Amino acid sequence: MKKLFFVLLLLCAFFNGFSQKEKSAGIPQAERLKWWQDAKMGLFIHWGPVSLIGKEISWSRKDYGAAKYDALYKRFNPKKFDAKEWVALAKASGMKYMVLTAKHHDGFCLFETKTTDYNIMNTPFGRDVCKELAEAAHEANMPICWYFSVADWKDPDCRDPKMNPVFAERVLKQVGELLTNYGKIGLLWIDFEGWPSPVEPKKVYDLARKLQPEIIINNRLEPFTPDESHGFVGNYADYATPEGFVAGYGKTAWETCTNMGHQWAWKFGDHPRSLKESVHTLLRCVGGNGNLLFNIGPDSTGVFPADFAARAREMGSWIKKNEPAIYNTKGGIYTPAADYVSSFKGDKLYIHLLNAAKNELTLPAIAAKVKRATLMDGTKINVTQSGKDLKISFPENKIDSIATIAVLTMDKPLSALSPIAPFSTTNSLAYNKKATASSSVGQFYHDPAAAFDDNPKTCWKIGRRKDIDVHQIYGKNIHYLSDEIMSLYQPTGWLEVDLGKPQPVGRIKLGESKYSESEIKKFKVQYLAGNSWKDLAADTKMGDWQKDITPVTAQKFRLVIDQYHGYFGVNEFELFPPGN
């Protein structure tokens, strides 16, 4: 009986452990993302031996001379590196997580690894930077995260037809080391450098989720192009990563990565962006329902430049006064405009006035009533509300030169409301109307709605073909500007807008975004008459294109791309009434 009881006890323990493992491995994405989305801003750190010469990490290797670049580690000795000081700066700056370049495209590892001698332990410094930073971060309750390039421009095995499988195994061992030896890792920030991943994305993703079940993984394992790396969230990703710009508003989780200065790695004579530009970059991310990963590169001694550190602390001081409007909020309900952004939590709506020359805002109507209106310091402000608009008056003597935030307490939770777009700046009939397309590069920034948002910085782009085996592409040495990669995308496509009801249209405006040598070579605009699409206009060049047409009344209009080259985008598809 005792033996039977012992066996049953072991079985219970086994199944309980199995159940716990399954539970952790199956943590819902929204649950895994919550801490990160609440955090809003992280510190990005690009660092390595390249800081000795003040040039860009990895990307300067060819021009500087590969042999010289690869030998820099032999004199890399950042004696002033203090992990606790790095963490303290991040906290003082209002940054809630840290992402360090554990390995960039140049292949140098800032951690102790058994896979290559090209690592921090073989420098004069001889200390594991990742270990020291992870320990300091854990001690301060700061989530530590790794940037990791799956490529390696120094390793000849990378994407070599015969040796790439060996290289891929080496990469997986490095991922294993980073996610095993340094405690809990909050996020794995994979990078794309212009060629398909040399490692099968699923293998990296599965290994990471196995070793760190709660980890968040960005979207750069699967892309074939920079466009996809910015806006495409595939099967092995949690969020999108626009780079160097704030892309607007997105329901898809996203994070803009950009520099406080003008280069990822430390640069001679560089200077930080102004406090206003730095804070506005953050607020536009917050208002767009995204995050900001703000980069500062330490110098070769291991110290952040004094003027950058001072600017970061200035940001932190400004944020401290306005924390409730930033952290733990969602972007919206009002989507970003030129003069404002907004954020909300519960029944609190925060309107961030970004134009210090104004003291009044007129916003579209909202399906909730304002019960109370104040500034962040409690000062009461005037708000008038109608079925047409919402007007906010800010006291002139209370205008903040960076941003002035109104706090509106509403009569209901705001999460039940749909996003409210700004008033149109073009008066296009198609503005913010329901948009669909034959295909799209991603769910954000390059989706169909990007052509109907009065924002020429966003654009719709044609997506991948569905008849290709993408698994045959990974590991190949084919650049995104090659014909082989370009051929993976749909050869034709259409973009459609539904005006909601039949409306007369007499003028069409189109905008083309060009990349490298991209070009729309043949297109037409159609309208739906009954069950048939009828041609309205056609041309062989787009650019900034417009045409007056014989007026038609219809509800649905379509742009058809019949022929193109490269990675074009349609940034605006606008329709206007006759005579307008």
Q: What is the pLDDT of residues 152-207, one digit of tens each?
A: 999 999 999 999 999 999 999 999 999 999 999 999 999 999 999 999 999 999 99
Rg (alpha carbons) of the chain, rounded to whole number = 26
Judge whether 270 lies within some domain.
yes
Residues 294 and 407 in one domain: no
Judge whether 14 lies within some domain.
no
Q: In the chain, how many domains are there?
A: 3
SS3 content of the chain, % helix, strand, coil (to 5): 25, 30, 45
Peptide linkage before 296 cis (omega within 30 of 0): no
Range of the domain at 550: 434-576
Residues 364 and 224 in one domain: no
Residues 114 and 59 in one domain: yes
Give the pLDDT band of residue 25 (cuts 50, 70, 90). Answer: low
- Which 3-state string (H, E, C) describes 5-22? HHHHHHHHHHHHHHHHHH
CATH number at residue 399: 2.60.40.1180
Q: How many residues does the chain have?
A: 580
Residues 521 and 376 in one domain: no
Residues 200 and 334 in one domain: no
Reported as a single tens digit per residue, the pLDDT across 533-561 is 999 999 999 999 999 999 999 999 999 99
pTM: 0.94
The contacts of residue 490 (CB under 8 Å, 6+ apart) are: 438, 439, 462, 463, 464, 465
CATH number at residue 441: 2.60.120.260
Reported as a single tens digit per residue, the pLDDT across 253-266 is 999 999 999 999 99
Residues 361 and 310 in one domain: no
Reported as a single tens digit per residue, the pLDDT across 433-450 is 999 999 999 998 999 999
Residues 44 and 166 in one domain: yes
Judge whether 237 lies within some domain.
yes
CATH number at residue 187: 3.20.20.80
Largest separation between any pair of C-alpha atoms in the chain: 93
- The rounded distance, in Å, linking the Cα atoms of 513 and 563 is 15
